[in-house]
Amino acid sequence: MGQIELLSGNDAIARAAIVAGCRFYSGYPITPSSEIAEGMSRFLPKIGGKFIQMEDEIAGIGAAIGASLTGTKTMTATSGPGFSLKQEHIGYAIMGEIPVVIVNVMRGGPSTGMPTYPSQGDVMQSRWGTHGDHEIIVLTPCSVQESFELTIEAFNLAETYRMPVIILSDEIIGHMREKVEIKDAGEYKIVNRAKPAVEKSKYLPFDSKHGLVPPLAPYGEGYRFHITGLTHDESGFPSMNAEVVKRLQERLRDKVLMNRKKFDFFEKRMTEDADIVVIGYGAVARSAMRAIKDARREHIKAGLYRPITMWPFAYDNIAEIAKRAKHILVSEMNFGQVLGEVERATLGTDCKVHFLGKADGELINPSEILTKIREVMNV
C-alpha cells in the first residue's frame, strides 16, 4: 500500500537512497546538505550499512569510491565549496568507471558565499568541474517528491552506466517540506550493476568486447584488477598509445551519448501553442509554473519547458520548441549558465532568447517572471 509522509527534500534523498540499495555513505557536513548525512547516519546502521563522517569533502568522496569498488552502492552529499573539492575524484570515478551518487545542494557563492541562501550557480561546474573531455549525468529535482524519485533513478543510472551521477538540488528544494508518496519497496525498479561471467583469471575490467559498459567485478571476491586515473588499456594498466586512448575516450563518451534518450527527462506545460516558453529548473521552475498560469489568464500564450536531466543537455528538445515559439525566456538563479546552452540550441531559428536571472540569494518569484513575460510580449 505504501505510505504518505511529510519530508524535506534532503530527507527524501536520504530515504530514497536506502530504497535504491545504498549501503554506504561517507561525507562531511556542510550547509545546506547536512540533513542528508544526518539521515544516512540514522538509517544505515539499522540495516547493516556503514556511515562514515570523513575529515573533509575530498576524503568523503574518496571513501565512497573505494566502497563502490567492493560492489556496494554508495552516496556522498555536499554543497558548493565541498563540491569544488570533490572535482578531482569525480574525474577519477569517470575514468575508472566507478558508480557513485553525488548530491550537491546548491548555495550562494563563490567561495563560502551564502551558506543558508539558494543559488543555481553550480550548473556549469557540474558539467565541466573536473578537467578533460568527459560526459556526466546530472539530474535536477524541483519538488520533494521528485527528490525522492530522482535519487532512485540516479542510483539506477550510476549502476547501469558504471559512472558517477550527480543530483543537483538547491537550498529551497533541500529544505522545503511537502507530502511524499512512498510506495512499497518492491514497486520500485532497482538496478544492480552487471557482474562478469568470465573466469576470474581472464577478467578484464575495461573489456569493450562486452559492449560500451563492461561488467564490474567487486574487490574481495577473487578478481584481481587494476584501477587508475591514467588513460589505460582494457586490463586497467596505464597506456599512452594513441589508438588505445582514442578507443577508451570514445567509449566513455558513447556509453552516455548513445543512450541519452533513455534518461532524457523533462517536463512541458502548455508549449504546443505558446508564443513564449519559459525555461526554468529546480526551485525557479516552481515560480515559472505559476507565472505561465497567470500569463494565460491575461491571454498571453505562455508555456514552460523544465529540464530534469540537465546534462547531457537536451539541445534537440529546445530546438524543437524554438521552431514554434516566438520567444524563449530563460530564468535561473545565476547570471546565465543555462542561457548560453539555450542560445546554442536555437541558432538558425527565428526564436528570440531572453534572460531573467539574479545571484543575490533570493528566489526569482512568479511576479518577476510574469513582469518579464509582459515586457517581452510588449503587453
Last residue of a domain, one of 156, 187, 218: 187
DSSP string, 197-214: -S-GGG--TT-GGG-SS-
pLDDT of residue 2: 83
pLDDT at 118 over 70: yes
pLDDT of residue 57: 97
24 and 102 co-located in one domain: yes
Identify whether 337 is part of a domain: yes
Tens of pLDDT, residues 244-262: 999 999 999 999 999 999 9
CB of 338 closer than 8 Å to CB of 314: no
Euclidean distance between CA atoms 236 and 230, whole angstroms: 9
102 has pLDDT over 70:
yes
User: At which of 126, 153, 187 does a domain end?
Assistant: 187
Report pLDDT digits (tens) over 285-325.
999 999 999 999 999 999 999 999 999 999 999 999 999 99
pLDDT of 81 strictly over 90: yes
Residue-level pLDDT at 1 = 65
Share of residues in the chain with pLDDT > 90 (%): 98
In a domain, 194, yes or no: no
pTM of the model: 0.97
How confident is the model over 174-183, as a mean pLDDT? Answer: 97
Q: Are residues 97 and 125 in the same domain?
A: yes
Band (pLDDT 50/70/90 cuts) for residue 379 is confident
Indicate whether 256 and 271 sit together in one domain.
Answer: no
156 lies in some domain? yes
Query: pLDDT tens, 68-77?
Result: 999 999 999 9
Q: Is the same domain home to 130 and 166?
A: yes
In this structure, are 123 and 14 located in the same domain? yes
Question: Is residue 275, in this structure, part of any structural domain at all?
Answer: yes
Residues 71 and 29 in one domain: yes
How far separated are the first and last CA of the chain, in Å rounded?
Answer: 50
- CATH code of the domain in which 101 resides: 3.40.50.970
User: For the domain that residue 275 is a member of, what is the CATH number?
Assistant: 3.40.50.920
Q: Is the pLDDT of residue 243 over 70?
A: yes
**Is 326 part of any domain?**
yes
In a domain, 330, yes or no: yes
Considering the domain architecture, whether residues 272 and 340 belong to the same structural domain is answered as yes
CB 264 within 8 A of CB 256: no
What is the predicted pLDDT for the residue at 323? 96
- What does the pLDDT read at residue 185? 84
Query: Quick one: three-class SS letters along 292-348?
Result: HHHHHHCCCCEEEEEECEEECCCHHHHHHHHHHCCEEEEEECCCCHHHHHHHHHCCC
Residue 180: domain span: 3-187
343 pLDDT above the threshold of 70: yes
Q: Is residue 193 part of a domain?
A: no
Q: Do 29 and 150 lie in a common domain?
A: yes
Binned at pLDDT 50, 70 and 90, residue 183 comes out as very high
Question: Mean pLDDT of all residues in the chain?
Answer: 97
Sheet strand arrangement including 100-106: 50-53, 22-27, 73-78, 100-106, 164-170, 137-139, 309-311
Same domain, 32 and 134: yes
Over residues 102-125, the mean pLDDT reads: 97
Considering 211, 234, 260, which residue would you say is the last residue of a domain?
260
Q: Could you tell me if 122 and 254 lie in one domain? A: no
| Cα(104)–Cα(262) distance, integer angstroms | 23
Query: Quick one: average pLDDT of 160-177?
Result: 98
Whether residue 130 sits in one domain with residue 27: yes
Is 232 contained in some domain?
Answer: yes
Rounded mean pLDDT, 257-273: 97
Task: Identify whether residues 41 and 143 lie together within a single domain.
Answer: yes
Assign 25 a pLDDT band (cuts: 50, 70, 90): very high
Q: What is the number of domains present in the chain? A: 3
- Residue identified by cell 544516512 is 40
The residue whose grid cell reads 574481495 is 220
Q: What is the mean pLDDT of residues 325-340?
A: 98
